[in-house]
Amino acid sequence: MPAWQLAQLDIAKMRGPLDSPAMADFVANLDRINATAESADGFIWRDVDALKEFVYRSAHAPIMRRRREWFDGMSEAYMVLWWVPAGHRPTEAEAIARLERLRKSGSGADAFSFREPFPMPASAPLR
């Protein structure tokens, strides 16, 4: 097992509450897409390539292409990636802080995007 795993957060501005007619088709696909993620090679994401495979080449891709039906566009970064020690589960606050870091400072080893990925750290994490 690698010493590191890839953490990921993405956010969106929904066009209505989850129980609204505007979101019905999105909600109807959630269980299927989540099951696809959980069975994907790399879930929990081992590396950037495994996550890209899920996002762009799995059953998730057709749903993602329809995102404008359910979500408003965002002018700021809405997705962030970062490396965590294997087994660590980031908190919501940690994930939001990483997104804010990416928005403020751009890609770096501690917060990056698909466009500017950073490799897994070479050294073992401090415990």
The residue assigned the tokens 């919501």 is: 92
Structural tokens at position 122: 């070479």
pLDDT in tens, 16-74: 999 999 999 999 998 988 888 777 665 666 888 888 888 888 888 888 899 999 999 99
Q: How far apart are CA 4 and CA 8, in angstroms?
A: 13
Extents of the domains making up the chain: 4-105
pLDDT for 114? 92
CA distances (Å), origin 50, targets 5, 42, 44, 71, 126: 11, 5, 9, 25, 25
